[in-house]
Structure 1
Amino acid sequence: MENDDMRKLRSVNVTRYVTPLREGGSLPAIAEADDNFLYVLKFRGAGQGVKALIAELIGGEIARLLGFKIPEIVFANLDTAFGRTEPDEEIQDLLKASTGLNLALHYLSGAITYDPVLTQLDAKLCSQIVWLDCLLTNVDRTPRNTNMLMWHKELWLIDHGASLYFHHSWHNWEEQAKRPFAQIKDHVLLQWATQLNEADQEFKTILTPESIKAITNLIPDDWLSDSSSDQSPSERREVYYKFLTTRLAASSVFIKEAQNARATLI
């Protein structure tokens, strides 16, 4: 794979708000863009703001690089005039707060939520997904909310916005990068993840410093300019890069935690 070819995201302009997706508190929506495709639109004015968009972007593109099926991620521009005719006051407020650059994922029409009772995945894939979520510190792949879809008989990963929670408190990111991921005990696929060491070996050859840098370089300056830190956008972007490379180097810590958590399940 070539980084230059793989690490470019398209930009679209949102033309029509179709319907809200009322899962969780962030009110994502199905929307149409000027390329005539439908997208699941994630708003910068919702919940955790641009940090959720950054986590979605980094998590999704790392997953794609590792070979998982991820809906195409695009930058989605929302014009100031968009949503003025929206009758729902809550949605109108959300649209007003989200003017500018947002994030969207290609809408997989007809996809159904993954159910481990109905579809058993092989141990290799389960292990790979558990490893990914340990790396990203993704707290949101549980039996209650798997954030996986079955589409055309294939498994697709979605919703990485709850990953990388270190960025909600910048000051101890070095320590957080080296921590085990205790929440992995709640992962929907943990009991079948018997090949974590193999996943680690394979994925660490793919996730080179250069490939991680190419992904973190996708984060727009506009998303790195809020008042939560006095660092410049380039300095903040560098923290994401260093967090991921540090965590990757310490992968044995989160693998051991996952293996210990799995041992209590079986």
Structure 2
Amino acid sequence: MLPLVTATRYVTPLREGGSLPGIVEADDLGTYVMKFHGAGQGRKSLIAEVIAGELARELGLRVPEQVIIDLDPVIGRHEPDTDVQDLLKASTGWNLGVDFLPGSLGFDPLGWTPDATFASRVLWFDAFIGNVDRSWRNPNMLVWHGDVWLIDHGASLIFHHAWANAARLFSGPYDVDDHVLTPHATELSKAEAELLPKVTEGLLRDLTALVPDRWLEGEPGFDGPDAVRDAYIDILTRRAADPRAWLPDLDVSRRKPDTASRRGEKRPGWLGGPA
């Protein structure tokens, strides 16, 4: 399991995301962005964050450290927003903490040109996990100390929202057209040759072991948390075995960002920097 810490102070909500995460301090002296199991996306969003985020780390991509945060909602008793109070009360117990990157800025596709190796690796990774939330409208990447960090993977692994139809939900080609890095991902074949061999059943077993039992308990149709873990491993192992089913054309024509039509759009979300 991920390291377990206890929240000691609720600092402030982050209002850019629909799930209303909050900044908290913990007893390990760390500061984290806490994502709540009581939010609308529920515990499955946190499961996706853990599995996908730690997979990205194992593939050599930068992801902020993740921990499990034990929450007593009393720490937010002085928060005046009733919606936040309700969320805290609904999220008593274990939530996900993502290391807060102070001073980080949201990646701006109009202001920074990624190199082909980085872009290709990120696009391949997102295609593998089925991440639909890395568009130019919301890149979910932070620039911190000159490096780019990947965040917010709760919208990946969508098959776990309907296990009975998991195979269908996780089949078919990944839509690269809306991905923020598609224009620069010109080395997908190289990225696949580097990353695919690392996605083994053993690695997936290690990653699913990081998810707390309590987030997996009570899943309809499964006989306990380990059975749910086995289902994740099975789906992802089969996906790794047939990459042409979800990223069939590694030489797809890349369209350049339409910068003229994007001027004036809302800037992407961030953690730690100004809006």
TM over 0.5, shorter chain: yes
Give the SS at the match of 2:177: helix
CA distance in 1 between counterparts of 2:229 and 2:113 reads 38
Moved more, 127-136 or 190-199: 190-199
Bigger mean CA deviation after superposition, 114-123 or 77-86 = 77-86
Q: CA deviation at 1:258?
A: 6.4
1:101 and 2:94 aligned: yes
The answer for the alignment partner of 2:239 in structure 1 is 247
- State the number of aligned residues: 256
Equivalent residue of 1:245, what SS? helix
Larger deviation, residues 98-107 vs 245-254 = 245-254
**2:255 equivalent in structure 1:** 265
* Rounded Cα–Cα distance in structure 2 between residues aligned with 1:60 and 1:162: 12
| Distance apart, 1:180 and its partner CA | 1.6
Equivalence map 1:1-266=2 (5 Å): 9-79=2-72, 81-182=74-175, 184-226=176-218, 228-256=220-248, 259-260=251-252, 263=253, 265=255
Give the whole-Å Cα distance in 2 for the aligned partners of 1:164 and 1:225.
18
Distance 1:149 1:249 in 2: 31
Distance in 1, matches of 2:172 and 2:240, equals 11
1:31–1:41 CA contact under 8 A, matched in 2: yes
Residue 158 of structure 1 aligns with an amino acid whose one-letter code is I
SS in 1 for 2:75: coil
Residue identity in the other structure for 1:87:
P
Distance 1:121 1:80 in 2: 41
Aligned counterparts of 2:123 and 2:254: Cα–Cα separation in 1:
16
TM-aligned CA distance change 1:19 to 1:238, over 3 Å: same
Deviations 1:130-176 (A, max 9, x none): 00000111011011110001100011111111111111111122333
CA distance in 2, matches of 1:34, 1:132: 33
**Inter-CA distance 244–231: structure 2 relative to 1 (3 Å threshold):** same
Please give the root-mean-square deviation of Cα atoms over the aligned residues, in Å.
Answer: 1.7
Q: Which moved further from structure 2: 116-125 or 56-65?
A: 116-125
User: 1:258 and 1:224, CA in 2 relative to 1: closer, same or farther beyond 3 A?
Assistant: farther
Distance 2:251 2:209 in 1: 33
Structure 1 unaligned residues grouped into runs of 5+ = 1-7
Alignment partner of 1:141: what SS? coil
Q: CA deviation at 1:264?
A: 6.2
Structure 1 or 2: larger helix share? Answer: 1
Q: Please give the alpha-carbon distance, in whole angstroms, between the structure 1 residues aligned to 2:49 and 2:221.
A: 20
Say if 1:180 and 1:257, in contact at 8 Å, map to a contact too. Answer: no
TM-score of the aligned structures, taking structure 2 as reference length? 0.88
What amino acid is aligned across from residue 253 of structure 1 in structure 2? A
Q: State the SS of the aligned residue for 2:76.
A: coil
| Structure 2 counterpart of 1:5 | none
| C-alpha spacing 1:227/1:236, structure 2 compared with 1 (3 Å) | closer
Give aligned-pair identity as a percent. 47
| Structure-1 separation of matches of 2:15 and 2:29 | 23
